[in-house]
Structure 1
Amino acid sequence: MLNFKQAFSTSSKLAKAIKPAVRSTRHSKDVESMDKNIPFEKPQKAWERAGESKDDYFRSRFSHVHAKQKQNDPAERRKSYETIRKTRASNYKRERYNDRQQHKQKFARDVYRGLTPNPLSEYVYGSSAVLAALKANKREIFNKLFIHNPKEMNSEIIKLATQLGVETNMVDSRSQLNQLTSNAIHNGYVLETKPLLPTPIFKLGTVSDGSYTIDEDNYGDVLEQTYTTTNKNPLGIYLDGITDPHNIGAIIRSAYFLGADFIVMSEKNCAPLSPAVAKTSVGAMELIPIFTADKPLTFFDKSRANGWTFVSAAVADHHREDKIARSLEQKSVEFEELSQLLESGPCMLVLGSEGDGIRTTLKVRSDFLVEIKPAAGVSSLVDSLNVSVAGALLMQKLLQ
């Protein structure tokens, strides 16, 4: 008889298909715990009970312990010493630097502090130039006189300034005057004024009984002016192409000192009458008549037609054209013969720049050419004189 064993198991596949009677919200992998259902009180940290952050709590209570440990550590002591030493050295350097800066500021010459130059004005400097400008009173206006600790207090300058209604200011710093004069030597006197403008002219007129006429340019019209001379005949100085203001100032000084009557400048190629010219001329620029000619060739021709003799300080030579060279050679006159020329009639001494000299067109229109020859054995490196020195020698010879 067959025996059958009764089985009450189900297959695994069928078991998985059986659904629970109650749906659970937890996943099968989650661990079931009853902690959430058991009352639990989390203990507070010490710093939480104190109401502080963890860092502040330990720093306030245990920093001294750490400091003592560091203090007892030789390496930490050396590190602390080095920090203190560097701090002290840095503070010392900073203090010394501040002391030096204060010392420099105390004795500094600040050229930008104080007076500011007026671009519409001119600043005549030097006691002689300022005094001459006030005495001559040729300028349009005098604004202010600045004085700073002069070596010699010139009461005449202050007196004239007061008479002319010029405001006088005593300044505290020499650097203030240096700023007005571009650091030139001013001797403690600076006069703010308008530029001295030379009179434009057309030609030189006739000469008669110690007087002569000059046709001035009065805004396009001819204005004939009469001048007198203390010489037997008048002597004028013509400047062509001289751009160095110191040379012009020295020539003006010599001309006034030696007795020349007036000066004519080429309008387009000569340095203007500036404070540097006034300073170099020691004020003579204010005292001698100065004119300009804008058409030199016409000025030469028309003045010669009225009896004026033109003598140019130049070598009678021309490197390019033989015809011009021969013409210039015929005009050559010896230095010793110059005094005879002024005896015969009025003269104009023509001076040119040291580099280019007098223009050929003016030399051709001159009556005579004269040169000052060097002594025997003089090196070729020194082949000429400064134009102001040569001009003074020629003036002196003409006026003998």
Structure 2
Amino acid sequence: MWVFRILHQHKLLLVWTRRLQQPGLISRVGSQFASYHVSAALQRPKGSSIKPVVKRQRWQERERSVQGKAWRNETPVLQKQTQTRTDGSRVSSELRKLCLDDFPAEREKLVRERSTPESRAENHEIVFGIAPCLLALTHGRRKAHKLFVKDGETSNRSSVVKVCEEAHQRGVQVHRVSKRDLDKMSSGRVHQGVCLQASPLRYLTEDSAPRRNDSRPPLWLVLEEIQDPMNLGAILRSAYFLGVDRVASSLHDSCPLSPVVSKASSGVMEVFGVYGYENLEDMLRLKASQGWQVVGTVGTEAEQSHIPVGQCSDFQMTKPTLLLMGGEGEGLSKELLSLCQTLLTIPAGRELFPGIESLNVSVATGILLHSLLSTR
């Protein structure tokens, strides 16, 4: 009797093999064969000489051979199913984005997890160098996130230890990384073994100006289109050291307050705020109406104009003054020159060859500032 039953089972296998070639049935093959295998084992006739384990092994071998043929015959269907699963995963990703839009806290957590130390996202940047990192931590104008220190003997230097202590006191995480990582964060610049991930600094506005408690006449340094960050950093360092009351800059065609500027200023940018103006002409007219004197600067070979030109060593600062410095190459624009009441120049100490008759803007600024501020 059981022999006929086995023959019947062979017929069923052939039927299932043909049906397996139809799309949409492959996902149910495993469950179909599993249930059939159990029912065949339960229907084993009593007194049969075939042991259950041997019979189960034979059925498993047959199932594997049949399934293998079915898989080989249905390769296009499998590819189609794989594409379907890929599309489904894409939809799931889009749905996840929609869910994150409904839960801002979860979205911020995901962004933090995916962020890398060298990332230049809008909410942070990499400050590098001992002085910039230390002053950024101590003055709190930035929001510090992480401090990265070169692993090895560098981390034992007293200057680096001081930066790490300031970070610990403010709850900023300190990470030991390789020099290669720091080089990548600072884009190959001199980082002195320290990098700080912090929020960027912006130009200040007129509303944020503090009150001045000095009886001496103030001096504002006005910069028009300074584009080199190294020049801007050097100018800030000189202005802070010599006692300038405010540095004002045009917002258009001027370099931003980047970590490069901070490093060039030896960290002065972290302490000394720079004010940005959309329209310098309006600000100059307003200050002139309030009794300030507007002083421009020109080279030794400046063109003749109706505005008096004098040497900086002969100028006496007796009232609030605005000192204007133009950008690299072109100098002050005609619009700003027309608003000046006096023009100053730095005399040369020798006869100059053509093409090298001028000074770097940061060097010229330092000389002029020292000359003016020493007379007030």
TM-score (norm 1): 0.60
Match of 1:145 among 144, 147, 165: 147
For residues 228 and 167 of structure 1, the distance between their equivalents in structure 2, rounded to whole angstroms, comes to: 37
Q: What is residue 278 of structure 2 aligned with on the other side?
A: 294
Match of 2:294 among 310, 335, 352: 310
Q: Deviations over 1:325-346 (max 9, x none)?
A: 532xx332321123x12xx111
Q: What is residue 212 of structure 1 aligned with on the other side?
A: none
User: Cα RMSD between the aligned structures?
Assistant: 2.0
For residues 317 and 389 of structure 1, the distance between their equivalents in structure 2, rounded to whole angstroms, comes to: 18
Match of 1:135 among 138, 146, 149: 138
Change (3 A) 1:262 1:365: same
Query: Does structure 1 conserve the Cα–Cα contact (< 8 Å) formed by 2:128 and 2:195?
Result: yes
- Does residue 1:375 correspond to 2:349, yes or no? yes
- Does residue 1:263 correspond to 2:247, yes or no? yes
Shift of 1:276: 0.4
Shift of 1:248: 0.2
Q: What is residue 186 of structure 1 aligned with on the other side?
A: 191
Q: Which moved more, 1:377-386 or 1:265-274?
A: 377-386
Match of 1:364 among 338, 347, 350: 338
**1:185 alignment partner AA:** V
Match of 2:325 among 336, 339, 351: 351
**SS of corresponding position for 2:309:** coil
Q: What is residue 94 of structure 1 aligned with on the other side?
A: none
Shift of 1:287: 1.4
For residues 135 and 349 of structure 2, the distance between their equivalents in structure 1, rounded to whole angstroms, comes to: 38
Shift of 1:381: 3.2
For residues 242 and 299 of structure 2, the distance between their equivalents in structure 1, rounded to whole angstroms, comes to: 24
Q: Which moved more, 1:283-292 or 1:182-191?
A: 283-292
Shift of 1:231: 6.8
- Does residue 1:337 correspond to 2:308, yes or no? no
Q: What is residue 244 of structure 1 aligned with on the other side?
A: 228
Match of 1:282 among 266, 274, 297: 266
Change (3 A) 1:367 1:229: farther
- Does residue 1:122 correspond to 2:99, yes or no? no
Matches within 5 A, 1:198-209: 198-201=203-206
Q: Deviations over 1:353-392 (max 9, x none)?
A: 2311111110110121111121232222311010000000
Shift of 1:199: 1.1
Q: What is residue 211 of structure 1 aligned with on the other side?
A: none
Q: What is residue 387 of structure 1 aligned with on the other side?
A: 361
Shift of 1:234: 1.3
Query: Does structure 1 conserve the Cα–Cα contact (< 8 Å) formed by 2:204 and 2:275?
Result: yes
**SS of corresponding position for 2:369:** helix
Q: Which has the larger radius of gyration?
A: 1
Query: Does structure 1 conserve the Cα–Cα contact (< 8 Å) formed by 2:218 and 2:320?
Result: yes
Question: Unmatched 5+ residue regions in structure 2?
Answer: 1-115
Query: Does structure 1 conserve the Cα–Cα contact (< 8 Å) formed by 2:311 and 2:347?
Result: no
Shift of 1:316: 8.7
Q: What is residue 196 of structure 1 aligned with on the other side?
A: 201
Query: Which structure: greater strand fraction?
Result: 1
Q: Deviations over 1:151-171 (max 9, x none)?
A: 724232122211221111111
Q: Deviations over 1:35-91 (max 9, x none)?
A: xxxxxxxxxxxxxxxxxxxxxxxxxxxxxxxxxxxxxxxxxxxxxxxxxxxxxxxxx
For residues 301 and 193 of structure 2, the distance between their equivalents in structure 1, rounded to whole angstroms, comes to: 48
Query: Does structure 2 conserve the Cα–Cα contact (< 8 Å) formed by 1:146 and 1:169?
Result: yes
**2:273 alignment partner AA:** P
For residues 317 and 230 of structure 1, the distance between their equivalents in structure 2, rounded to whole angstroms, comes to: 37
For residues 370 and 231 of structure 1, the distance between their equivalents in structure 2, rounded to whole angstroms, comes to: 25
Shift of 1:317: 7.9
Question: Unmatched 5+ residue regions in structure 1?
Answer: 1-113, 202-215, 217-222, 320-324
Q: What is residue 227 of structure 1 aligned with on the other side?
A: 211
For residues 293 and 355 of structure 1, the distance between their equivalents in structure 2, rounded to whole angstroms, comes to: 21
Matches within 5 A, 1:77-88: none
User: Would you say how many aligned residue pairs link Structure 1 and Structure 2?
Assistant: 254
Change (3 A) 1:274 1:118: closer
Change (3 A) 1:345 1:248: same
- Does residue 1:163 correspond to 2:166, yes or no? no
Q: What is residue 34 of structure 1 aligned with on the other side?
A: none
Change (3 A) 1:261 1:288: same
Shift of 1:122: 0.8
Query: Does structure 1 conserve the Cα–Cα contact (< 8 Å) formed by 2:227 and 2:253?
Result: yes
Query: Which structure: greater helix fraction?
Result: 2
Change (3 A) 1:229 1:382: farther
Query: Does structure 1 conserve the Cα–Cα contact (< 8 Å) formed by 2:300 and 2:347?
Result: no
For residues 261 and 242 of structure 2, the distance between their equivalents in structure 1, rounded to whole angstroms, comes to: 18
For residues 247 and 398 of structure 1, the distance between their equivalents in structure 2, rounded to whole angstroms, comes to: 20
TM-score (norm 2): 0.64
Shift of 1:134: 1.2
For residues 252 and 166 of structure 1, the distance between their equivalents in structure 2, rounded to whole angstroms, comes to: 28
Change (3 A) 1:226 1:175: closer
